Amino acid sequence: MAEEKRFAILIDADNIAPKYIKSILNEISNKGTITYKRIYCDWTGNIASSWKKVLLNNSLTPVQQYSYTYGKNSTDSAMIIDAMDILYDGEVDGFALCSSDSDFTRLAVRLREAGKIVIGLGESKTPAPFCAACNEFKFLDRITDDDDDEKSAKTSKKGSKSNTAKASSGSKKDKEEDKDEGEDSITPIETIAASLRDIILENGNETNGIDMGELGSRLQKRFPAFDTRNYGYSKFSIFLKTFDFLTMDHVGTSINVMLNIPAEDISVESEIVEMVKGYGDKGVNLGSLSSDIRNKYPNFNTKEYGFSKFEQYIRSISALEVRNVTPLNKKVFIKGK
């Protein structure tokens, strides 16, 4: 049995609420063994009251960092210094950076350069660059159960006023910019769908498709912030069932995922020939033909037919030919016309 990975959890208490602690510990426990649990803040302030019970119950080590200048977050530098010290000690395999602050982007990059696994945890407002810098990023406000929110409501209620005051110490403009940057952090479902197609076409078997575990792993590498819970699903298999272009087949203890090519796509080749005929002897621009096909068949993808480029696919149709009318203009004609 392979030895479990060791992780250091570093929490920016200025950006993480007490109600998320259970979710953080559960997520990292699923990845390996937690060897460091440190949380950074100016504990001389009122925020300490909302955290006291959480620190004791979860054996978190508080690290004091005074705010040297009013309105400036001083915990960032303390967290970064500790992370580098832990890195050079060589006692962990990965880091969990818990914050919604983009200031930790460079730290995440540096830790990954050193061969460490970096898991980011923050709210969905987290700027996209920080998410992309991690191996994985978990949106705590999406994955935390409602029950956990209710249980922690009493704990965080006392410190809510002080947390709000502290969070508002930055300028209104900065807060608006952070919000705008974070809006795109959750990958649109349309982008996920397109990537699922590409991954299966590029890495799957024509007959058996691709193993569901491999599909999920490759998708995670493309989108570090991907998590089915962001879209309201608890399991990857259930999430995949929502895409009508996918079919799933149980093979022993594994599940294979395949593209479900609609029957209409089988006759698409003859349909393309008819489209070209409609343009008569003048032919049709290659780009225009591509647009016409995709307007009629929104799911059309040349990779499904074994071609990486649309032009090569058209050239494979025996009834058609592609001519260079000008160096920059290629047209498609019915062969012999």
pLDDT at 44: 81
The pLDDT value given to residue 159: 44
pTM: 0.66
pLDDT at position 261:
63
Q: What is the pLDDT of residue 76?
A: 83
Q: 62 pLDDT exceeds 60?
A: yes
How far apart (Å, rounded) are the C-alpha atoms in residues 283 and 318?
16
Please determine, for residue 244, whether its predicted confidence score (pLDDT) is greater than 90. Answer: no
**Angle CA(280)–CA(286)–CA(289) in degrees, nearest 5?**
65
DSSP element (H, E) containing 49: helix 48-57
Mean pLDDT computed over every residue of the chain: 82
Tell me the mean pLDDT in the region 270-274: 89
Q: How far apart are CA 175 and CA 185, in angstroms?
A: 16
Average pLDDT over residues 72-94: 87
Domains and CATH numbers, the chain: 5-182 (3.40.50.1010), 189-259 (3.30.420), 263-334 (3.30.420.610)
pLDDT digits (tens, 9 = 90+) for 145-160: 644 444 444 444 444 4
The answer to whether 148 and 23 have CB atoms below 8 angstroms apart is yes
Check residue 155 and give its pLDDT. Answer: 43
CB 126 within 8 A of CB 140: no
- Residues 285-304 have pLDDT tens digits of 998 999 888 888 887 877 77
Q: Report, as an integer, the average pLDDT of 166-192.
A: 58
Assess whether pLDDT exceeds 90 at residue 20.
yes
Cα(13)–Cα(163) distance, integer angstroms: 10
Across 45-73, average pLDDT: 77
Contact (Cβ atoms closer than 8 angstroms) between residue 133 and residue 109: yes
